[in-house]
Every structure is written in C-alpha cells, then in structure tokens.
Amino acid sequence: MLVDVTAAPTFTSRPKVELHVHLDCSLTRRALNRLGNPIGEAEFRRLYTAPERCDNLMDYLRAIGPSAAALQTAPALAIATDEMMRALAADGVIHAEIRFAPHTHQRGGLSLDQVMAAVTEGLAAGAEATGITAGLILCALRDYPPEANLTVIELAHRWRDRGVVGVDLAGDEAGHPAAANRAVFDRAHVLGLPVTAHAGEAAGPDSLAEVMALLAPARIGHGVRAIESEDLLAEIKARNLHLEVCPSSNIQVGVYSDYADHPIDRMSRRGLSLSINTDARTVAPLSLSLEYRRLAVAFGWQTGEFLAHNLEALRHAFWPEAAKPALGGRLVEGWSG
Ligand SMILES: [Zn+2]
C-alpha cells in the first residue's frame, strides 16, 4: 500500500477537474462487458493493472498491452470513451481532458478520421449521460517519426470544433529528445492549437528545459523533476506554466520511491501552478478521489489546497474561457463546508 488512507475523508462527491489522463490506460471493466468480453474483477486486475510499484518498465507496459489491443475497433473506442466519462463522473470529476495517440488505434485498419469519429461519438454519449464536460488532447509520440506526428497535428486541427482541445507530446522521454519534433509543434502553434508536453518525468531538468525552449507548451505533463533546478522553477513561474502532476503514477514507474518523497507538496508551497491527476486510471489502478486521500494523509492537504489546485486546473484548461466561470462556481460551492 502506498499510503494508508483508511482514516482520510473520501472526496468522491467533491467536484474536480482532471487535465492529464490517458484513454488507453483507463479502459474499464464495464466497457469490456458492454463489448461482449465480460471479465471477473480478479482477472481484470491481474491482466489490466500494473503493480503499485513496478520493478521495471516491462511490468507497466505489460498491463497496457491488453487495453491497447482491445481499443482497435470503432465500437471499442466509442464504448471505452463513453464508459471513461461515466467513471470520471462517478469520481466527482466535472471537467476532464482525455488524451490518446490516434496512430496507436489503427491496428484493426481504422483510418485516423475513423478513430476520431469513434472517440468523439463516445465522448458525446458520455457527456449526455453524465452532464460532465470533456475535451480531447491528441498525443504525438517521441518515438514516432516527425512526419507521423505532423499528421496528428493536422488531425487535431480538423477535429478542433468537434471535441479536440489541444495536442501533447508523449512517449519515451529518456530515449527520445524533443528536438526531433520541434517543427511538429511549430505547426501546432501556427494553427493556434494549445500545447502540452510530457517532460521532467523519466528525464531530468535538461529535458524539461529543452521542451520549454523548443516546443513552448502552455502546460507540462508531470514536470516534477523541475524541483531539481532552482533556475527551472523560477522560469516555470515566470512563464506561468502549469504542471499536470500525477503523484501515484510517478511512484508506480519508479521516479520516486515513496509517496512522502514526492515533490508535489514542496511545489505547491512554492506557489507553482499545478493540478492533481491520475494519468492512468486502470493501469494504476486509481481514482482522483483516492489520489486526494493519499495527499490528505501524506501531506495534510485540506479543502484549501484541493480547491486552489482545482481552480488552477480550470484556469489552465484548454476549454473556452466563457464556459469557465460556471465550472469555477461549482468548484467553489462544492469545496465549501
Ligand atoms: Zn501521461
């Protein structure tokens, strides 16, 4: 157990904003049931989740395999997205940004536009069923050729009015510098697409500085290893960059050995703009409510911290500014008392 949360409040009914969660790491058992592949809870855990602390990356990747394999048809993508929205709503999430790499869902022969049609259909169904709002972030991958990543940017542009809110750089940070994708993200900026990028997780401050200098993102996925550089912390603050922090995910893949070692509390105290995220709801397995319980126990976080970080998440969400005050009002109301 990462943190004993038995004495902590549950947080399930508290309203939350989640900005960093991957579709292919969050496939639910209910989605598999609806797709005609019923699976018992124990078997689901064994096949689709990774240990809370993985000994190596293979432990983690092994758990993503079955989910990735399942998400290669239009019905699977639509139902998985719909069910993910329902899981988010059940967790108290009122607004989410769900990300995925479209190219990784083409093994069954779907075109990129067919992938998008299926995911946006599921997103609309989930929004209708739950009343929550969500946008899609399309991921370019560090280990993919820049030409393939450029098609992701163009795809995001084409689907921007139909659910897509931004683009991301994901994939193996340690082995693939961001420089190869500079022109890809130049194109995203030309098209006016909001940009976030994974950095400062598997690699340290140099990788973060590279991404900030070359890709000019508005937000950073993780970014926690900025804590190793005073210069970087100052620059992140000066640029008003937002960090999408995923504490349990970092511990699961061994960036930090223990929850108490995680820098989220130190970063929060230094006034950095950050949000709390799951990254991978099924592979973890994790809910945002459980993550909040861990933060409450490990660092004594209370209503004030949680509300502040949710308001920061909303402020930096790739969502129409006109829609934010109503969501902000629900956050303030839901965290009062
Ligand atoms: Zn991620």
> Per residue in 53-68, pLDDT tens?
998 778 888 899 999 9
Cβ atoms 215, 185 nearer than 8 A:
yes
Q: Which residues contact 226 (CB under 8 A, 6 or more apart)?
A: 200, 205, 208, 232, 233, 236, 243, 267, 272
pLDDT of residue 207: 93
313 C-alpha to center of ligand 1: Å? 16
Lowest mean pLDDT among 12-21, 181-190, 198-207: 198-207
62 C-alpha to center of ligand 1: Å? 16
Query: Residue 326: which pLDDT band, with cuts at 50, 70 and 90?
Result: very high
pLDDT of residue 269: 97
Query: Residue 33: which pLDDT band, with cuts at 50, 70 and 90?
Result: very high
Using CB atoms within 10 Å of the CB of residue 73, give its burial: 0 to 12 exposed, 13 to 18 middle, 19+ buried.
middle
Q: Is the pTM of this model over 0.85?
A: yes
58 C-alpha to center of ligand 1: Å? 17
Domains, the chain: 16-329 (3.20.20.140)
Cβ atoms 173, 194 nearer than 8 A:
no
Mapped onto helix, strand or coil, the DSSP state of residue 69 is: helix
Cβ atoms 136, 163 nearer than 8 A:
yes
Active site positions, annotated: 201
Q: What is the sign of the dihedral through the CA atoms of 257, 258, 261 and 265? A: positive
Query: Residue 1: which pLDDT band, with cuts at 50, 70 and 90?
Result: confident
Cβ atoms 25, 281 nearer than 8 A:
yes
217 C-alpha to center of ligand 1: Å? 15
Tens of pLDDT, residue by residue over 87-109, are: 999 999 999 999 999 999 999 99
25 C-alpha to center of ligand 1: Å? 9
For residue 87, give both structure tokens: 């899981």
223 C-alpha to center of ligand 1: Å? 11
pLDDT of residue 27: 97
Tens of pLDDT, residue by residue over 275-284, are: 999 999 999 9
Q: Which residue has the higher pLDDT, 152 or 63?
A: 152
DSSP structure string for 157-193 = HHTGGGTEEEEEEES-TTTS-GGGGHHHHHHHHHTT-
Tens of pLDDT, residue by residue over 206-220, are: 999 999 999 999 999
